[in-house]
Structure 1
Amino acid sequence: MGLTIKLPKEDGSTYEYKTSNKSSFQVPSRKLESRIVFSAAHVVCDPFANTDPLTNAQIDWEHTLAYRRYLWSLGLSVAEAMDTAQRGMGLDWKRAKELIQKSIAEAKAVGGKVACGAGTDHLAPNFRITLEQVEAAYEEQCEFVEKHGGQIILMASRALAACAQAPEDYERVYGKILQQVSQPVILHWLGDMFDPALEGYWGTADLDSAMEVCLNVIWNNKDKVDGIKISLLDEKREIEMRRLLPEGVRMYTGDDFNYPSLIKGDKQGYSHALLGIFDAIAPAAAAAIHALDNGDLATYDALLEKTVPLSKHIFQKPTFSYKTGIVFMAYLNGHQPHFRMIGGAEGARSIIHLAELYKLADEAGLISDPELAAERMRLTLALAGIR
């Protein structure tokens, strides 16, 4: 028997929603094989830190690292200190360094796989910054990740976007950094829907031209590129680019709308995954890839198809506020004891949005403990004056 909970509508009225029964997913008993699957992971705020949550929020390391152990236990890899961890939107480079170091150590302890974001976010982006400063910033962060034994995810740079004058500036900076790294990296092309400061990345607002510049960087440095993650929410463009990559260079989908079909692929290839939504749908994602490993496409489709409405809801405009939904899912499922975020980002989505998220998560079978989730949803609603 399901539970009944009162949820709000946009007009101020409420309706009775009856939850489904608790569902379960087949957790893989062996490593995932057919695809490389990274889940970008969120951080848990320390609610007891007596500091300004907007400028100096502290991290609850116990629950933050426990969530990474949970992801690894499902067979997923962790993409660390990325935008899902509020990198550049609450998590600065000083705190990111601590997160990277702790996460790499934890991965080594439990046999997990982790790759870490390296960027230029300790530079304040403006047109007065020089390309040499951008290069030095990238070098500093890449050196830190490699020193601690992590694989680099070379993040898009707000500073480079602010000071670059032409596509050739991107080719220069990326070329220099890629020739210095000791192991192949994952490039990260993040669309401006995720970060408005990255508008016109690769030196042009035309996406066809931008893709050409990016591909030039990859082909000119193919031995130093493991793959590229693109987050443009454009399925056709990702498939087009995937087919133009050098042999051995992987496409990691960052498309939180079209991931089921992109990961499944077609006769000409497929995408691996590096996704923020996999933080929220981890059990379904692991079970789906496990089914794909076994050649069970029907189960793969059925498992991921149910998660797409939830993902589209979490990543609705403004897309960069998706972290709020990711953390709310972790709260509903008991992975953390509170719904507080660094930077006060728990307030970035409306109570209507959170109520619909709860409903969609339940319909997708992603509520692990229905009674706990219902209790926490009611507490959240009560804070908004809904009883």
Structure 2
Amino acid sequence: MTLHLPGPGGATRPYEPRTEPLSLTTGAPLTSRVVFSAAHVVADPYADVSPDSPAAVDWDATLAFRRHLWSHGLGVAEAMDTAQRGMGLDWAGAAELIRRSAAEAKAVGGRIACGVGTDQLAPGDRTTAEVRTAYEEQLAVVEESGAQAILMASRALCAAAKTPDDYLDVYGHLLRQAREPVILHWLGPMFDPALEGYWGSSDLDAATDTFLDVIAAHPDKVDGIKVSLLDAQREIDLRRRLPDGVRCYTGDDFNYPELIAGDDRGFSHALLGIFDPLGPLAAEAVRRLDTGDTEAFRALLDPTVELSRHLFQTPTRYYKTGVVFLAWLAGHQSHFTMVGGLQSARSLPHLARAYELADGLGLFPDPALAESRMKHLLSVHGVAQ
């Protein structure tokens, strides 16, 4: 049937949903790139909670989604910002998520890396020593779970640090005690405004130098870096300056096809929030790279950029709403409810466009189910069909 979707100006437009999904199946492990999907959490829709309550998570649905990603050969980046760290999921919930997902990964042979931050600290003035201790607590939880650690950018450190040397001191201390090589995460302020000036400067060139100094002092303890600055050329320039053996994991949800494809001087691996809804398609594309067919890789992945740029449009940090919305339409969860009530963070026209773009790509395993759910959502909002 024809759906009438709302547009930005208030008028509706007709849209004919597709009837067949893109044909994608599980396949061999990926070999040419290390690819992580930063996975979302599924809220418990029956929990009697408020936006200020601790997160109520549907653990069965949350872990089932991770098994879905692993089945396609992707790694899972757990307890990252896609999982609403600092936006509804507190440290207690994140710690439980890490333990449960790490155990599930071990049971199915899936790759997993987990976010280490400082979000157990209450707001307020903190010393760098207190920040370091908070990092250590979370690092211990991740290491005890058997997962790889991702040292996330810390709002508390950004507020407490006075000079670039404070970053060198805190990160140096953590890297010296880490059991295994970690991934360092540079998250830009477009994802979290509280991280403006990370690495000791709002001048990105100066911040980059400090970031590289941290890595150069401990190259044996850095598996790779995740860069989420939405600046393709800056990422390329940065990855060319990395010590041998240190990977660059793109976190650029605007320019990922070209960065993963790379050039004659290197390429980026991937750790992306957009690979939550794109998981099976992304895995299929990387398998084309595994055979050396860059053209086929780009042919599959380039058309997805419009959807990604739509989901990650300003204010970028609310991309999570679109990610969960698409998971609901795709049948990975039975409801469109989010931790902290964040399902209200995007407008109906924004969601309608996300549906249209995802449907056009063939992302929904059951297009009829997605159409039915979209129709119900429109009805709830008073859009006549």
Q: TM-score, normalised by structure 2?
A: 0.98
Q: Is the 8 A contact 1:32 1:289 kept in 2?
A: yes
The equivalent residue for 1:49 is 47
The equivalent residue for 1:90 is 88
1:335 aligns with 2:332: yes
Q: Is the 8 A contact 1:124 1:159 kept in 2?
A: no
Which of 363, 370, 374 is the equivalent residue of 1:373?
370
Find the aligned partners of 1:55 and 1:206 in 2 and give their Cα distance.
Answer: 37
Which of 162, 165, 169 is the equivalent residue of 1:165?
162
Name the CA shift for 1:366/1:26 in 2 (closer, same or farther; >3 Å).
closer
Aligned structure 1 segments of 4 or more residues deviating by more than 4 angstroms: none
The equivalent residue for 1:39 is 37
The equivalent residue for 1:253 is 250
1:244 aligns with 2:241: yes
1:262 aligns with 2:259: yes
Deviates more, 1:83-92 or 1:8-17: 8-17
Letter in 2 for 1:151: Q
Deviation at 1:28, TM superposition (A): 4.7
Find the aligned partners of 1:363 and 1:211 in 2 and give their Cα distance.
Answer: 39
The equivalent residue for 1:116 is 114
Which of 231, 235, 240 is the equivalent residue of 1:234?
231
Deviations 1:226-270 (A, max 9, x none): 000010000000000000000000000000000000000000000
- Secondary structure of the structure 2 residue equivalent to 1:44: coil
Find the aligned partners of 1:78 and 1:190 in 2 and give their Cα distance.
Answer: 18
Deviation at 1:26, TM superposition (A): 3.8
Deviation at 1:104, TM superposition (A): 0.3
- The alignment's C-alpha RMSD in Å is 1.0
Which of 189, 192, 208 is the equivalent residue of 2:186?
189
The equivalent residue for 1:103 is 101
Find the aligned partners of 2:283 and 2:52 in 1 and give their Cα distance.
Answer: 34
Unaligned runs of 5+ in 2: none
The equivalent residue for 2:320 is 323
Letter in 2 for 1:292: L
Deviates more, 1:238-247 or 1:140-149: 140-149
Name the CA shift for 1:95/1:320 in 2 (closer, same or farther; >3 Å).
same
Unaligned runs of 5+ in 1: none
- Secondary structure of the structure 1 residue equivalent to 2:4: strand
Deviation at 1:57, TM superposition (A): 3.1
Deviation at 1:55, TM superposition (A): 2.3
Deviation at 1:54, TM superposition (A): 3.7
Q: Is the 8 A contact 2:250 2:269 kept in 1?
A: yes
Aligned pair count reads: 384
Q: Is the 8 A contact 2:7 2:13 kept in 1?
A: yes
Deviation at 1:51, TM superposition (A): 2.2
Deviations 1:328-360 (A, max 9, x none): 010000000000000100000000000000011
Find the aligned partners of 1:11 and 1:193 in 2 and give their Cα distance.
Answer: 26
Q: Is the 8 A contact 1:226 1:250 kept in 2?
A: yes
Q: Is the 8 A contact 1:6 1:16 kept in 2?
A: yes
Deviation at 1:56, TM superposition (A): 2.5
Deviations 1:350-384 (A, max 9, x none): 00000000011012221221110011111111121
Deviations 1:151-197 (A, max 9, x none): 10000000000111011100010000100001000000000000001
- Secondary structure of the structure 2 residue equivalent to 1:306: helix
1:283 aligns with 2:274: no
Task: Please list, as runs of the form range in 1=range in 2, the aligned pairs for 1:109-148 lying within 5 A after superposition.
Answer: 109-126=107-124, 128-148=125-145
Q: TM-score, normalised by structure 1?
A: 0.98
- Secondary structure of the structure 2 residue equivalent to 1:188: strand
- Secondary structure of the structure 2 residue equivalent to 1:138: helix
- Secondary structure of the structure 1 residue equivalent to 2:276: helix
